[in-house]
Amino acid sequence: FRQLFILPQGEFKRFLISNSREKQGILRTLFDSEKFEAIREILKEEVKKENSQIENRYQQIDLLWQEIESFDDDKIKGLLEVATQQIDKVIENIPLLQARSKEILAFVNESKE
């Protein structure tokens, strides 16, 4: 046993035959467990909030999956084509960007002197 409690004479029998709710009330009074009950309620509310957030995340994931499933081959090919065109433009502008960065570096070096 981790804890001992003493009941007044005649109350032990009543405790033994009482239902769970009555036993809970008696034990709560004896062991002053209201503070633990308050903590339990706070934690219970936190769990509810977390579960609600998890449910919201699952709904968001479900919506995203539905969007993904709605893509057909033509849409994917179109997106791939746009991405390829954008990559080609970036590659095409690399020499220009390199030249511009050299100009900026030269300007910075001149400013230091």
The model's pLDDT over 49-80, given as tens digits with 9 standing for 90+, comes to: 999 999 999 999 988 888 777 777 777 778 77
pLDDT at 51: 92
pLDDT at 2: 67
- The Cα–Cα gap between 11 and 29 comes to 14
State the average pLDDT for the chain.
83
- The Cα–Cα gap between 26 and 7 comes to 10
Q: How confident is the model at residue 113 (pLDDT cuts 50, 70, 90)?
A: low
Q: How confident is the model at residue 35 (pLDDT cuts 50, 70, 90)?
A: confident
Query: Which is it for the CA torsion 30, 35, 39, 45, positive or negative?
Result: positive
